[in-house]
Amino acid sequence: MRRARDGSKLPKSRSCKGRNQTVRPLSLVLLASLVSVLTLVVLLGPVSSERGLAVRPADAASRVKVTARGDGNTEKVIVENNTRHRIKVKRVGSIYQPRSNEPFRVDRTLRRGRTITFESGPAANHNVLTHEYIFNSDVGSKEGARVATSVGRFADRCN
């Protein structure tokens, strides 16, 4: 290693014009600090209250909306697909003291931007789960619907 003009033992580097320059110790420290911080970010993930910057599966899946309506002669479970792809609705059932034959297997494909309504009760006509009531109207918001899909499980409480 050559000595610099001032007599220190600093490594030589070349600039873009070909002149010899000495590397300053402070720039090496800053470079080492930057490399260590970036290594920690890569290994541990970004530091934030949301635990990372990527969309979590639960956030992506929250674009599937379930609505339970147990206040009419026909009880309804409405599933809305607001994702950018088709999903499969696998099972539909109630939350509060489900019957022995619940959840009901439906296996329906729901295209993006579409809604499907499942009905139960004596007056049910379309996408019938059963001709008996599945929701218990006496328990208020303890009752609701559970829906299992290809992107996760979702629920909504009755009002």
Indicate if 66 and 39 belong to the same structural domain: no
pTM equals 0.60
**How many domains is the chain built from?**
2
Q: Between 58 and 31, where is the model more confident?
A: 31
Indicate if 106 and 128 belong to the same structural domain: yes
Q: In Å, how far are 63, 103, 105 from 117, measured between CA atoms? A: 17, 16, 14
Dist CA 85 CA 69 (whole Å): 26
140, 68 in Cβ contact below 8 A?
no
Range name among 15-29, 46-60, 113-127, 135-149 with the lowest pLDDT average: 46-60
Where is 25: in which H helix or E strand? helix 25-44
Indicate if 120 and 67 belong to the same structural domain: yes
Dist CA 27 CA 86 (whole Å): 53
| pLDDT beyond 50 at 68 | yes
Could you report the per-residue pLDDT of 71-110, keeping only the tens digit for each? 878 889 999 999 889 999 999 998 888 888 888 999 999 9
| Range(s) of the domain holding residue 149 | 57-157
Look up the CATH number of the domain holding residue 132. 2.60.40
Highest mean pLDDT among 35-39, 44-48, 77-81, 95-99: 77-81
Indicate if 73 and 27 belong to the same structural domain: no
